[in-house]
Chains A and B, each alone.
Chain A
């Protein structure tokens, strides 16, 4: 080697190492970082997201399987209006437009239900996957799909829809794929028809999964059966039911006694901990590790606070009959509260098939249905019923670690078993589980033994057909008839039609249980005598059609007053504050307008407020000279507050602090001795009823063993502590306090990727208002809309997000600001494609059949 060649060899070696390293990171993912080559490629990687962010002004494509051309006109809000000559063509186009805007969201939903998130996101989600598979939603969804007859309309509809999705995926280049695929370094799946049923199952997972009876055991162990029954009762002690009580317009306050908590022994605390662990285990799955690394479910948060009244639910709907509206037409409004995400759970769409369907509303990407919306005659919306549709059975098994049989009526029965494999991003086997089933459903292993689960979501039902048929209804009666096959998740479906009818029905499958009919306990699984006997007939569902009062509302409260009918439907019902407030608004105004309906969505008042404020006021007065100057100053400040939870409100800041202090001081017995973390917190309905009992033992602060406190002492002490605490936290000058700084909404990306969410949004909400916010701000109105059913239908709506799932699209989060302020946008309702033109038309997509036409 010559002298000149030595440095060249060295530099060549260095270059070879650099090239090898660059190629390695280009081709091979490193830890959480995907392969950089594809990721950074400006033509096909993440940067391409910008190139495909906006809709082309005009686009014409061929789509296999179409029988005739389909025209999709996107309006200026990014809503596709699909004009087709047949339902199947319309559904194929819907699958295509869903895929174009929301493909990754659809993939994530399917993978969540099937427990295959680890395959795209790695082993951190193994715990979530195990929980999903353990609950058995995917096999149940597959059974529902297979149960459809081969010539059923819904089967053809679903097949066409999924074809549309796969046609988009098949034609998409790397540059078209959602940026999340590139960040995760994975490719989209090929979608199957049963995926539609996975999405519907996911709604049950979100809305109808309840395992609170497992935690109830922990509460009973801690405070005793009698106290638990009073604090987490079968029937709400303040009744403002969904089904109107004829002749009654005021809330009914039931007499309530709160038995003393039992003195917790060490054994009771240990039992409580075991039961609590069982509850956590079932809620979070067999291996909860990593369940929170991505925002894929709210179970972890939900399990930490059994208070369902304010924290977890918040959906509302209400309607007024023509005689109570200014226009003389029926009005309907709704705002389903769900986990807020970007992209939003909803996708707005309008489908027109002349002579067959003309339906507008919000669809769930991955389904060809419109669960909430309207056609030219009928409008519908839903709130969650929250009925108890899950039961747990303690099973006797032949082997405590690896059972093969379970005992039933004195005989051993074989368990169904199957082995589940979990794979990682590149196919590596991460784990295997043996899943077992009894005749009731999945068998779950807990620290207290084996529990089997029965859940309506795992059983027969045809929700897709129901939604499909209901979209064609022309009257409220037809709509409810079409929805009879609907089983899960149980929903309070509110309907109004152009004929002036309004109606509500808590629709779903409600099991008939033997004995007292209750499902708020763990059953002895060794006998079949505890098994469900059947379902409620539709006629027994809580419902009302054309009520004399001329208005209807539901807000997740107990659907039917037990003095009307006392059949068990659930327990620990959410608080009635929202129902009381909306009914107050509707009763007070016999000339409702769409604008008044809109304003109610973010109404700043709460029916709870005055209960708390008057109790505190009375307590300070009762203390007389014992009340300090500080107490009086704080009370004056609280009294001067106008009761509105506006962003600029000062009094709301103090009020909220007072409420938190009262809750903390009152329910200290709900935490094991020596601890501050409560096992559960009774909701504020119980607190308000407890105000009526000034010497209840529950007012006692158990840390002061030499004193037994009474109500007024606790309320005044709470006011005092709240005042001092708020001054300490936000400054001595109350003029600087702002409620809006405390209650913010947070619309996070599905994967909680920073930069893809919209956070710290100041919204108008408060405890018990129609737009409640538990402080985390991650739940809220996922869609708000108002419909007026006059000679023609007029509607307004919005949701906290945008139509596109592309984070750099102008349609990704363009509605967030409108939503934040409570405003609604007029919805465009063209009858024909040509009706949408000019400034209201953003993009035209023409999908043409291939030369061969329909397959």
Chain B
């Protein structure tokens, strides 16, 4: 339950920080989560997933202003990557940023002191 709450919170924070600050806030959020939940080995995966969902939600909001797929079609062709690839890249990229940031912080931050087998002394 707590993990689900953390996850939803991360989605919201990532979306808001991207909207208000910019794309580079995604690894920052990932890093913060990686530090806070460094005892949980699933943290990088969850951080990445949360960022991907956050950006997907933002894409939905942006797409509301124009016919669905118009940006991916036009810009994808312009960038010569195809509409699907542009969409996929946009969703995958924050996942990579957040997950890798969380993993790095978790790796350098030690085991932490949270519950579970990894924190038992």
Contacts and interface: CB of A to CB of B under 8 A. Distances in A.
Interface in A800-836: 807-810
Interface in B61-77: 61-67, 70-71, 73-77
A326 interface: no
Interface in A760-808: 807-808
A808 B106 CA distance: 42
A49 B71 contact: yes
A40 interface: yes
B103 A12 contact: yes
Contacts of A36: 89, 93
A54 B89 contact: no
A12 B104 contact: yes
A37 interface: yes
B103 to A, nearest CB: 3
Contacts of A42: 18, 55, 58-59, 61-62, 90
Interface string B81-119: 000000001100100110111111011100000000000
A47 B103 contact: no
Interface string A8-36: 11011111101100110011000001001
Contacts of B78: 183, 749, 753-756, 807
A43 interface: yes
A279 B94 CA distance: 53
Contacts of B64: 50-51
A753 B81 CA distance: 12
Contacts of A11: 103, 107
A51 B106 contact: no
B7 interface: no
Given A12-B107, A40-B23, A42-B55, A809 B66 contact: yes
B22 interface: yes
Contacts of A51: 61-62, 64-66
Contact of A808 (B55, B70, B79, B103): B70
A24 to B, nearest CB: 11
Given A41-B18, A42-B90, A756-B78, A53 B66 contact: yes
Contact of B103 (A15, A26, A810): A15
**B-side interface size class:** 35 or more
A753 B79 CA distance: 8
Contact of A23 (B18, B27, B74, B107): B27
Contacts of A38: 22-23
A673 B103 CA distance: 72
A652 interface: no
B18 A808 contact: no
B27 A808 contact: no
A52 interface: yes
Contacts of A33: 79
Nearest to A809: B66
A33 B90 CA distance: 14
A185 interface: no
Contact of B63 (A45, A47, A807): A47
Interface string A44-64: 111111111110000000000
Given A12-B104, A22-B100, A754-B77, A37 B24 contact: yes
A179 B63 CA distance: 14
Contact of B66 (A14, A41, A808): A808
Contacts of B59: 42, 47
B19 A50 contact: no
Given A15-B107, A808-B70, A808-B71, A22 B65 contact: no
Interface in B45-65: 55, 58-59, 61-65
A15 B89 CA distance: 19
A808 B74 contact: yes
Given A11-B107, A22-B96, A183-B78, A41 B70 contact: no
A50 B62 contact: yes
Contacts of A26: 23-24, 93, 97
Interface in A535-588: none
B62 A16 contact: no
Nearest to A36: B93
Given A12-B104, A41-B22, A18 B96 contact: yes
Contacts of A37: 22-24, 93
Contacts of A810: 66-67
Contact of A16 (B79, B99, B104): B104
Given A19-B97, A40-B89, A54 B65 contact: yes
A46 B83 CA distance: 13
Contact of B74 (A15, A27, A44, A756): A756
Interface of B: 18-19, 22-24, 27, 44, 55, 58-59, 61-67, 70-71, 73-80, 89-90, 93, 96-97, 99-104, 106-108
Closest 3 pairs between A and B when the two form their complex, measured CB to CB: A12-B107, A755-B77, A15-B103
26 contacts: A9-B107, A12-B106, A13-B107, A15-B101, A19-B103, A19-B104, A27-B24, A36-B93, A37-B93, A42-B18, A43-B19, A46-B71, A47-B90, A50-B62, A50-B63, A50-B65, A50-B66, A51-B66, A54-B65, A54-B66, A183-B79, A753-B77, A755-B75, A807-B78, A809-B66, A810-B67
